[in-house]
Amino acid sequence: MEKVEWEDVQRLVLSGYPKLPFSAYLFWHFEPDKVDAAKRWLGSLAKRLTCAVARGDRQAINLALSAPGLKHINVSDNMLNSFSPEFLEGMAPKPTATGPSRRSNILGDLGDSSPEFWEWGGWNGSRDIDGMLLLYASDRSSLMALIDTEIKAMAGAAEPALRQNGERIVLEGRIYEDHKEHFGFKDGISQPMIEGSPRASKKRKKSSGDPDENKELTADEKRIHLVKPGEFILGYRNERRIRISSISGTKDSKGAEARDIRRNGTYLVFRQLEQDVRAFNDFVANTAGRVYGRTDEPAREEIAARLVGRTREGHPLVPVDRGPDASPRNDFLYHFEDRFGTACPIGAHIRRANPRDTIGPDADTALRLSKMHRIIRRGRPYGERLDSGMGNSASRKASRGISFIALNADIAGQFEMIQHSWLNNTHFGGLHAGTDPFGHFSCTGDVVTIQDRPINHYIDRPRPFVRVRGGAYFFLPGIEAVRALARPELV
Ligand code: HEM
């Protein structure tokens, strides 16, 4: 088993910071023509970054850089070109003469979700994002203080990139006490585990209800979720036994072999996904009426669960024994347990997002293949809840959604593949129409299929409940790489 240099990896790879429920995503751009100041700032920031072996109990700081950000600090062309094409191209290239860019088509960022309308990262407004600070704190006032300190520290080198009517805005994220996102479901339950990580080698403790808790994995969880480090951290072997390799032949100014700045880093996908909770609730109630002839709570809950593949409390619909501690289980498969989707519909969100043992010539191969397309999710809800007591009309108008974050070593083969070939695929798993219930992409005649006996239910979905409002591809470097980038000489 390859040993990962955890002390050099940023902690976000291992933890979603469940004990630091308040977070901010501070997008910034470098000040023009101040490369020396930028490098000095990065040098001091490197000392404050929270690494994977740190505890980060009171606050945490992580750093991500975009391709324009790396260019700004004079990373050599040789090194820059070793990054993946999708990272270098960015999430929202401008349209071509013949229509939306290839990338927008892959992601389904069309119509309402087109980068034309994004609040940031799209074709208009706040496009020049060189990087992002991910700030985490235990309460809101500590978070505000942390934002303030970090903005002061970057002065003269970089400045916050997002503004609305001249005012600085910072996108926030929040873990609510019940760990539920805005549609009302527990989130962050199913995550891949990196082979050799502290969690993967932990002894079982009693469940604390935290998604990132320290309990030991069961044998089935290991079989399903244990993934090679190279799927998430550059410089190590992945599930194909390939190492996204180090650059050789590059020398630094003293003639020494240059260190690959990708080592111990990973790509970070950020998407601001706005959720229309009222439209979702209406759809659930209408569908309950169509399927069960009633719209009472149990009927609505049944439909809501079928859209996700888990109940609101996170219990999977695939038949599994709930176990003694009643925490949601994640050691289930579909091929033998629920092949035809009569328990967990084939098009349900979790079955599309991770089909486990269902897409391949046989169940074992399918499970092996699925490990090449996993992502670590570190997103959090933003905005007040619909039922937050803001008053009806204010609450209705307020924007809410998920600051979606995915970590992966290969954006094209992991995040984009899931988004394009599974969530947006109208024929996923043999379905004849319809896209992911939580997806932002919609096709003509979009339907949700709920498998049942003797006949399936096909429910028209008039429009998606999610809309993309901004996004960008970043690189979450290893800490030594941040130090290397801070040195005056070319990397
Ligand atoms: C507003 C949009 C979204 C919402 C509200 C949402 C919500 C959820 C919920 C409630 C779960 C079940 C809890 C769990 O298994 O951890 C889940 C699982 C998951 N979601 Fe999403 N999600 C959204 C968008 C996305 C997108 C865009 C992707 C990927 C491109 C994605 C990938 C996943 C994956 C990989 C899982 C775990 C599936 C498994 O391993 O069984 N989600 N999501």
Residue extents of the structural domains in the chain: 6-94+121-270+471-486, 277-374+414-464
Distance 187 CA to ligand 1 centre (A): 7
Q: Whose CA is nearest to atom 14 of ligand 1?
A: 189
For the chain, residues with pLDDT lower than 70 are: 56, 125-127, 202-215, 245-258, 323-324, 388-396, 490-491
> Which residues does ligand 1 sit against, CB inside 6 Å?
181, 183, 185, 187-190, 273, 275, 308, 310, 349-350, 353-354, 375, 377, 402, 404, 415, 418-419, 423, 438, 466
Nearest CA to ligand 1 atom 41: 350
Nearest CA to ligand 1 atom 18: 350
The sign of the CA dihedral 102, 107, 110, 114 is negative
Cβ density class 156-171: b for 16+ within 10 Å, e for less:
ebbebbbeeeeeeebb
Write down the pLDDT at residue 126. Answer: 67
Ligand 1 centroid from CA 481, angstroms:
31
H helical segments located in 160-293: 219-225, 277-292
Q: How would you label 202-214 residue by residue, b for 16+ Cβ within 10 Å and e otherwise?
A: eeeeeeeeebeee
Residue 208, pLDDT score: 42
Query: For ligand 1, atom 42, which residue shows the shortest CA distance?
Result: 353
DSSP sequence for 88-101: HH-S-PPPBTTBS-
Q: Whose CA is nearest to atom 38 of ligand 1?
A: 350
pLDDT of residue 146: 98
Nearest 5°: the CA angle 64, 66, 69 is 105
- Ligand 1 midpoint to CA 359 (Å): 18
Atom number in ligand 1 closest to CA 374: 35
Most informative mutation of 337, 438, 467 for ligand 1 (most atoms within 8 A of CB): 438
Q: What is the number of residues in the chain?
A: 491
User: Which pLDDT belongs to residue 366?
Assistant: 98
The beta strands (E) that lie in 303-437 are given as 376-377, 380-382, 401-408
Name which of 73, 78, 310 is nearest 190 in CA terms: 310
